[in-house]
Chains A and B, each alone.
Chain A
Amino acid sequence: MTHSIIVHTTLNSQEIEFLCEPRQSLLEVLREGLGLTGAKQACNNGNCGACSVILDGVLVNACLVLAVEVEGKSITTIEGIGGPGGLHPLQEEFLKQAALQCGICTPGFIVAAKVLLDQNSRPSEIEVRRWLAGNLCRCTGYDKIVRAVLAAAERMAETPLEVQA
């Protein structure tokens, strides 16, 4: 039995501490330990992006981060994404544009797209495609996902998130 370690971190704006084994990935701790199952276990080796989370502003695959690495850092998961009125414009546009089918990749895409829009508020189609190439979707052919991200960017440019009701 390996010895567990206490990790202090900020998860979706809440300061928390959790106990984990050194060999556990952040994904395993989020899902099995902390009950946040929005980040999905799919390939579990960084190929698919279904477990995308934001670590100190950087888009990462939670399956490739050891849980002990998040000591003192800040994590945002899909559960922490949303606007003051409820859904984030990306989430609303995913609904409107039918940018999901089975939905297993959807949290990862929304988290990844949020990091893109945080860095580049008006990306072109090719910039969106390039950024999202680390997230795999097998249902949609990406068409409606790309459109949703572009539409969300346009809406957010018109009405920035912080001034939305």
Chain B
Amino acid sequence: MSDKQTPIKDFQVIGTSPLRPDAVDKVTGRALFGDDVRLPGMLYGVVLRSPHSHARILSIDTRKAEALPGVFGAVTAADLPSFTDAGAYQRYQAENALANQKALYYGHPVAAVAAINPHIAQEALGLIDVTYEILPVILDVRQAMAEDAPILLDDLRTHEAGSRSDHSSNVASHEQTSCGDLELGFSQAAFIVEREFHTSTVHQGYIEPQNATAQAHEDGQITIWCSTQGAFGVRDQVAEILRVPVSHIRVIPMEIGGGFGGKNNVYLEPLAALLSRKCAHRPVKMIMGYDEVLAATGPTSASYIKVKIGAAADGRLIAAQAVLCYAAGAYPGSPVTSGMDCIFAPYKIPHVQIDGYDVVVNKPRTASYRAPGGTNANFAGEVVIDELCEKLGMDPLEFRLLNGVQTGDRKADGMPLPVIGFHEVIQAAQQTPQLSAPLEGPYRGRGVACGYWGNYGGTSSASASVNADGAISLVEGSVDLGSGRVAIAMQLAEAMELPYQDIQTVVGDTATVGYTEGTYGSRATFATGWAVYELAQSLKGQLCERAALLWDVEPDQVGYGKGAFTNRVSAESMSLRALASHMDETGGPVVASASVHPSKEGPAFGVHIADVEVDPETGKVSVLRYTAVQDVGKAIHPIYVEGQIQGGVAQGIGWGMNEEYVYDEQGRLLNASLLDYRLPTSLDLPMIETVLVEVPNPGHPYGVRGVGEMPIVPPPAALANAIYRAVGVRMQILPMSPPRILEALWEKERN
């Protein structure tokens, strides 16, 4: 990996909008997603799930189910290897795949059955006898933290300040970040705002349910086809759960119908593999119903957040404190530390203390969701900031220009910020058409909020070969969630100084490309883009050597540019295409591969502007207009960069306005369908205007910084701030659904 790159200004391919390699297949229905896999002799697997959200499993009897004609076999936790010598994380992974002794959430898998068709498999589920002892249920994060709360995991101890508590607790960890002197800071503040916030459990809401097809071979090898954000991640997790070497598993990632963080974890993959093993080594395909998706995959944390911020009379921020309590679901691992990283990140504040608690509750184990943990925290932080602006009588964007972080400023954790474009974003926001357009009429308001996401680098690999016609075949390791493959191919074209059409791209599987982390952390275009940049340098070097052989000169006497080689001695020229036809006589095929682990990913900042209208009779909030401004580093494929931002905004609006898990007192999910969970439809959203600000990331050869996650962070806060300006109520709970708005309006009237 190159040490330091200077971003190049004049691009040939980057910044254009070519056709995606996968796009025609996707508009014609030809693209093969996970559930489109069909193999000879394939069986269909289904999962029996716990109807209780906290219960001891006293017995499971699958004999009647297995005796049903057409059924090939059933599996339970008894079919998993022993984990008595394994670490807690590995054990939790296995227990989440198949409940062992205890069901910890409504929908927790208890058994799985494979049959010749899904209908018979479903019938068989009804023949499995399970006896449960029902245990008390804990759904709320603060109730779970209480000293006398029922304990979910008997072996769980609280990790705190490097040590482990001596008694069982639902609090998996307590982390603290601080700088300065909090008490001193608040004593100097002229204005202080302190508020408490609650956010509900929400789901990633990808349209394609989890699915997996597995073939367990007689020699112990396992092949898995599935919808995942990372083939290697699936391989690693299945290997952990089945306790087999990673090299015995091959994972082939099919096209993925949305992930948003929710398809990094495995659910069906280990069950399909277990079933295939048990069912005469026939391949087994499984797909979840959407009720199962909502009840037992994802979601992201519900949270309780307390924020206190103080500013001096001149508007400068002095002190800030936050306590974040995130519900992890049934096993530890909420994104509370990311929430801690995000909550005050946009601001220069000398005195800060942030406490974060990761807490288990009787809900599904949480998975990442686009900027995991950031949206909850930012909602709390930015609503308090807006109230502070009001007290100070300052324009919210002027306030952010005064207090916003710049390159080199340190975050609360002491880490200095690399080159960032926050101030450029604020200034661009001030120039947006929406901000200068008048917003008239009753019950209408305009709100702004900013947001931050740190992004991630991680390990990526790619390999490429030169074809006889001069085109390059690329195998890249990042699963394509919607625009990554084209952006990676464009960077190879740019680095090779070839037209985009000369790059043929496929996504590799675990057997065909080097280790690559999943497509998460807004990392694929950044890190895998860097991998193809590296391999282009190798390809060009090798090709120069081949040209030197043909010309009988030294390799350093060969130059390369714009798809052609130059003999610096004779001034002859030869196109890459012409050279490519001479591979056999100059030493055989030219191939290259690269694996990189870049770490200078470059944080993303954005400012969002929302115009809303509140119906005071029904509490319904209509989003009239929305603009998202973001520093994208360098937009490789601008129209898809816009698309990423629009999609993130749409999810953020859903989180802010509608979406939530509704449980009854026993912890049964009451709205486990897309209609009742209520994703935004085309009628719920306006056109979403975007402004791409390009402050190149010096930590990438083409200035790329991650784009995809940041846009979900500001919307709930921007909407809450707009609602305040429309009707004068400060919403401190998500979602801000009609009943909650009405309650807040009635409360305001009463006072």
Contact = CB atoms under 8 A, between A and B. Distances in A.
A148 B289 CA distance: 30
A113 to B, nearest CB: 11
Question: Which residue among B22, B208, B644 has the maximum number of chain A CB atoms within 10 Å of its CB?
Answer: B208
B119 A136 contact: no
Interface residues on B, range: 35 or more
A104 B258 contact: yes
A99 to B, nearest CB: 8
Given A32-B38, A42-B257, A138 B30 contact: no
B679 A138 contact: yes
A72 to B, nearest CB: 25
Contacts of B209: 41-43
Given A47-B674, A138-B679, A101 B647 contact: yes
Question: Which residue among B28, B290, B639, B644 has the maximum number of chain A CB atoms within 10 Å of its CB?
Answer: B28
A104 B646 contact: no
Interface stretch (B272-280, B424-432, B438-446, B680-688): B680-688
Nearest to B17: A98
B26 interface: yes
Interface in A116-145: 128-130, 132-145
Interface in B204-261: 204-209, 255-260
B23 interface: yes
A102 interface: yes
Contacts of A5: none
B482 A47 contact: no
B674 A43 contact: yes
Contacts of A24: 119
A117 B177 CA distance: 57
Contacts of A42: 207-209, 257, 290
Contact of B255 (A44, A97, A103): A103
Given A37-B29, A141-B685, A1 B70 contact: yes
Contact of A43 (B255, B290, B481, B682): B290
B36 interface: yes
A82 B647 contact: no
A146 B257 contact: no
B651 A100 contact: no
B643 A144 contact: yes
A79 to B, nearest CB: 6
Q: Is the interface of A mostly helix, strand, loop or mixed?
A: loop
Contacts of B69: 1
A132 B208 contact: no
B32 interface: yes
B687 A146 contact: yes
A144 to B, nearest CB: 6
B650 interface: yes
Given A21-B119, A138-B260, A100 B23 contact: yes
A144 B259 CA distance: 20
Interface string B29-64: 111110110100000000000000000000000000
Given A37-B32, A40-B33, A137-B207, A143 B687 contact: yes
A1 B70 CA distance: 9
Contacts of A23: 119
A136 B674 contact: yes
Given A1-B70, A104-B257, A141 B650 contact: yes
Given A35-B38, A50-B207, A100 B26 contact: yes
A142 B685 contact: yes
A128 B683 CA distance: 9
A136 B481 contact: no
A44 to B, nearest CB: 6
Nearest to B651: A138
B571 interface: no
B70 A140 contact: no
B679 A136 contact: yes
Contacts of B569: none
Question: Which residue among A87, A138, A140, A141 has the maximum number of chain B CB atoms within 10 Å of its CB?
Answer: A141
Interface of B: 17, 19, 22-33, 35-36, 38, 69-70, 118-119, 204-209, 255-260, 287, 289-290, 481-483, 639-640, 642-644, 646-647, 649-651, 673-675, 679-683, 685, 687-688
Interface of A: 1, 21, 23-24, 28, 31-32, 35-45, 47-48, 50, 77-79, 82, 87, 91, 94-95, 97-98, 100-107, 110, 128-130, 132-147
18 contacts: A37-B29, A40-B33, A40-B35, A42-B208, A43-B290, A45-B289, A94-B27, A97-B639, A98-B640, A101-B481, A101-B643, A102-B255, A102-B256, A103-B255, A104-B208, A140-B646, A141-B688, A144-B642
